[in-house]
Structure formats: C-alpha cells, structure tokens
C-alpha cells in the first residue's frame, strides 16, 4: 500500500490500534522469503513513478500477494482520516518512544528494547562492560557478548538482545548491563 503523506491513508488510518492476534505473525504463520523481494519490487516501482514525476500513476490500493499460488489481489485504500493521530494530527508516538515497548523480533530469537530517554556514552559503557565479557565497540554501536546472549547497544539507547525472545529476560539483561 503506497503511503503518500497528506494524500493517502496511512496504516494507522486503517488500523488505529494494532489488531492483536487477528492476523498470524511471521512467527506463527511463517514467511516465504521470496515475498520480501516481490513486495520490495512493487514499492520500488511506485517510488520510481513518484521520483520521475509520474506520481499520478501511483494507485492508492492495498495489495495482497500470495506467491505460493501466484495470486495478486488489490482493493482500494480507504480515504485518509483527517483525525488520524499519525498523518492527521502529526503525532508520531512510535518514533517519539511514547508507545514503544520491548518487541520480540520476528524469527530472530532477539528482542529490541527502546526505553531510555537519554543517549548512551558507548565508550563509558565499553569500559564498564570490558571486565565482564567480550566487548566490541565503535561510534555507531557496542556489542557485548555474555553467552548465550549478545547485546547490541546504540547511542540513542536502543538495544537488541539476541539469544532470547522472552521480553522479561531481555529487559533484565538490559537493566543489568546497560542501566
């Protein structure tokens, strides 16, 4: 579904709240890997239309692709909701961290955590963690290995905890080692 700011509906216009449990996740339903490149190709084609000055050729539609049976179905996107919190009122709660909870990353045995309001000094964190285990760091990220886990911490406070999909375990490791 192409989202053209100020013109078409965004995903939050269609799903004001995430429909928990209604759709299968890639954890429960699986993802046939060729669908990723198929959808990316459709998105790139729409982007090229816009970039080449032919944005009028982009159709506001929701496309469902079933690569297993070769079916492609399209329905018209609903109209943009002028009172939508995201595209109507310009409130970006997911980007501003006000609505971001730890998330188990699909099929990766990892959890992403974003709950710090202040940046992290990666050099200071590296010095603190070095006596506790293997640490690799640069200006972009710090990786800390404590088998069977691996924490990747970013300067904005985000972290990816690999080796678990349990949100509680990931939060505990983050609190213990990052603070």
* In the predicted structure, residue 23 carries a pLDDT above the cut 80: no
Rounded Cα distance between 171 and 174, Å, is: 5
> Alpha-carbon distance 53 to 106, whole Å?
36
Catalytic residue among 10, 26, 84, 106: 26
**Farthest-apart Cα atoms in the chain, separation:** 59
**Per DSSP, which regions of 23-116 are E strands?**
61-66, 71-76, 103-105, 110-113
Report the b/e string of 18-56 with b at 16+ CB within 10 A.
Answer: eeeeeeeeeeeeeeeeeeeeeeeeeeeebeebeeeeeee
Task: Identify the structural domains of the chain with CATH numbers, from first to last.
Answer: 1-99 (no CATH), 103-177 (3.30.310)
- Host H or E run for residue 12: helix 11-14
Average pLDDT (117-126) is: 84
Cβ neighbour number for residue 124 with a 10 Å cutoff: 9
| Residue 139 DSSP one-character state | S
Mean of the per-residue pLDDT values of the chain? 84
**Catalytic residue list contains 26:** yes
The whole model's pTM is what? 0.52
**Each residue of 61-90: pLDDT tens digit?**
999 888 888 899 999 999 999 999 999 998
Q: What is the pLDDT of residue 29?
A: 55
Sort residue 58 into left (φ over 0), alpha (ψ -120 to 50) or beta.
beta
Tell me what pLDDT residue 18 has: 60
What is the model's pLDDT at position 97?
A: 56
- Encoded tokens for 81: 């909701």
List alpha helices for 52-166, DSSP H. 122-129
Q: What is the pLDDT of residue 20?
A: 47
Q: For residues 151 and 157, what is the distance between their CA atoms, to the nearest angstrom? A: 12
- Can you tell me the mean pLDDT for 159-176? 89
């Amino acid at each position: 579904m192409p989202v053209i700011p100020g013109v078409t509906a965004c995903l939050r216009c269609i799903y004001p709240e995430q429909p928990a449990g209604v759709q299968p996740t890639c954890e429960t339903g699986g993802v046939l890997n060729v669908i990723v490149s198929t959808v990316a190709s459709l998105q790139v084609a729409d982007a090229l239309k816009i970039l080449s000055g032919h944005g009028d050729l982009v159709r506001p539609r929701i496309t469902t692709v079933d690569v297993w049976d070769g079916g492609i179905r399209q329905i018209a996107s609903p109209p943009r909701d002028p009172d939508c919190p995201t595209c109507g009122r310009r409130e970006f709660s997911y980007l501003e961290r006000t609505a971001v909870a730890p998330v188990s990353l699909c099929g990766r045995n990892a959890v992403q955590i974003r709950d710090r309001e202040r940046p992290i000094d990666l050099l200071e964190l590296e010095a603190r963690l070095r006596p506790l285990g293997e640490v690799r760091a640069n200006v972009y990220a710090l990786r800390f290995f404590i088998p069977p886990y691996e924490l990747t911490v970013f300067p904005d406070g985000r972290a990816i905890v690999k080796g678990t999909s349990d949100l509680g375990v990931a939060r505990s490791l983050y609190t213990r080692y990052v603070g």
